[in-house]
Amino acid sequence: MGIGARALRQRVRTAESEDWDFSEGRIFGSMCTQPAPAAVAAARRFVTSNLGNPGLAPGTARLEEEVVAVLLDLFHGPAFGAGGWVLSGGTEANITALWMARNASRKREVVLPESAHFSFVKAIDLLGLEPRWVPLDDQGRASLEDARKAIGPRTAAVVAIAGSTELGAVDPIPALAELARAHGVPLHVDAAFGGFVLPWAGPAAASVPFDLAVPGVTSLAVDPHKMGMAPVPAGVLLVRHREMARSIAVASPYLSSPQTTGLLGTRASSAVAATYAALMGLGHRGYASNVRRVLDLTAQLLAGGRALGLRPAVEPTMNIVAFLHRNPVAVQTWMLERGWDVSSVSAPSSLRFVVMPHATRGTVAALLRDLGSALRRFPP
């Protein structure tokens, strides 16, 4: 351990060059993107600050309050009593939401759709929960009838997805929320991806309510490090009632606050500052422009795929397209060898593309050309 400064710089640069770069526009399998420059600059200013000890980070604590206020306004939180935290990402947000629900209810079952992100599998394991999996309909959404059968007296929480990882599907959240309310249990919405798409995605998306405006939605996870244009890692958990966090509070006597309510002791102030810079720098106009552009590119990809003989697994509601294919991994591997990052879905067997702001009309056209070559070798 220990090398000269020149050798150190070279090793770091070499490692950096080996990582994929969003700016090249060839990444279509990731839900992250090139962050906003102002957000990157803000993050760099807070690399030594730890919001886990808020008495030493009053500036960061103030920025977090502003971030939460802005997002509660965007996602229609109530005027009084609501709260939230900037966390490390959707995984921490989803674990925390189920942690609060379990501790408050002292129950163990969680009702969730088969499209739920793997972070819920982690949460179930860590928290000792029992999953009641809800099948999906032909558009990748939770079946309301099956959810009605799954919920019962041992249910601690119901989960709904606004922008599923594989297909970008949005569950029937108002109906699920009504069902949860009827049984007196909380409904957590995982909008890690859809949260920064749906508010600006036009009339079709507006017809699918998903946020705290829906009675019965008690918590909402969103990821600024996806379409929110903040650097990795940054997630946010919003709650309708701030006192929900009391059930997970633990004493933290050696810190400047007597209690801590999050999963992590050390909290990255850089994520708070970056999220603040992204929100305030882009604003509604900037986010609307980004969403319009990626949806236009998604339409280009969808039309091009259809021209190549591909069929979408579901009609896209946002900037995720999955094309049915009997051997998606073979196509994925072929495309990878030619410098394209695409992904695959097992159910239904599909090629999956996420169209993020680093894409352009030119890169989508180039992707389609190589995809056409791949399909001649591996027909759908």
**Predicted confidence (pLDDT) per residue in 107-159, tens digit:** 999 999 999 999 999 999 999 999 999 999 999 999 999 999 999 999 999 99
How deeply is 122 buried, as exposed, middle or buried, from its count of CB atoms within 10 A (0-12, 13-18, 19+)?
A: middle
β 187-190/109-113 pair status? unpaired
- Fold of domain 38-280: Aspartate Aminotransferase; domain 2 (3.40.640)
The identity of residue 123, as a single letter, is A
Q: Is omega for the bond preceding 348 within 30 degrees of 0, making it cis?
A: yes
Instruction: Calculate the CA dihedral of residues 119, 232, 293, 17 and round it to 10 degrees.
Output: -120
**Nearest 5°: phi and psi at 159?**
-115, 140
Q: Which part of the chain has CATH 3.40.640.10? A: 38-280
Q: Maximum distance among all alpha carbons in the chain?
A: 65
Q: Which long-range contacts (CB under 8 A, 24 or more apart) does 199-206 make?
A: 199/74, 199/75, 199/287, 200/284, 200/287, 200/288, 200/290, 200/291, 200/292, 201/291, 201/295, 201/317, 201/318, 202/295, 204/317, 205/170, 205/317, 205/318
**Predicted confidence (pLDDT) per residue in 254-274, tens digit:** 666 677 778 898 999 999 999
The pTM of this model reads: 0.96
Cβ partners under 8 Å of residue 299, min gap 6 = none
Whose CA is closest to 230, among 283, 198, 271, 266?
Answer: 271
Stated length of the chain: 380
- Could you give the CA distance from residue 51 to residue 146 in angstroms, rounded to a whole number? 42
CATH superfamily of 19-35+283-377: Aspartate Aminotransferase, domain 1 (3.90.1150.10)
Q: Which part of the chain has CATH 3.90.1150.10? A: 19-35+283-377
pLDDT tens for the chain, residues 1 to 380: 889 999 999 999 999 999 999 999 999 999 999 999 999 999 999 999 999 998 999 999 999 999 999 999 999 999 899 999 999 999 999 999 999 999 999 999 999 999 999 999 999 999 999 999 999 999 999 999 999 999 999 999 999 999 999 999 999 999 999 999 999 999 999 999 999 999 999 876 666 799 999 999 999 999 999 999 999 999 999 999 998 888 887 777 766 667 777 889 899 999 999 999 999 999 999 999 999 999 999 999 999 999 999 999 999 999 999 999 999 999 999 999 999 999 999 999 999 999 999 999 999 999 999 999 999 999 99
- Among the residues of 173-219, which ranges form H helices? 173-182, 203-206
Distance of CA 301 to the CA centre of its chain: 22
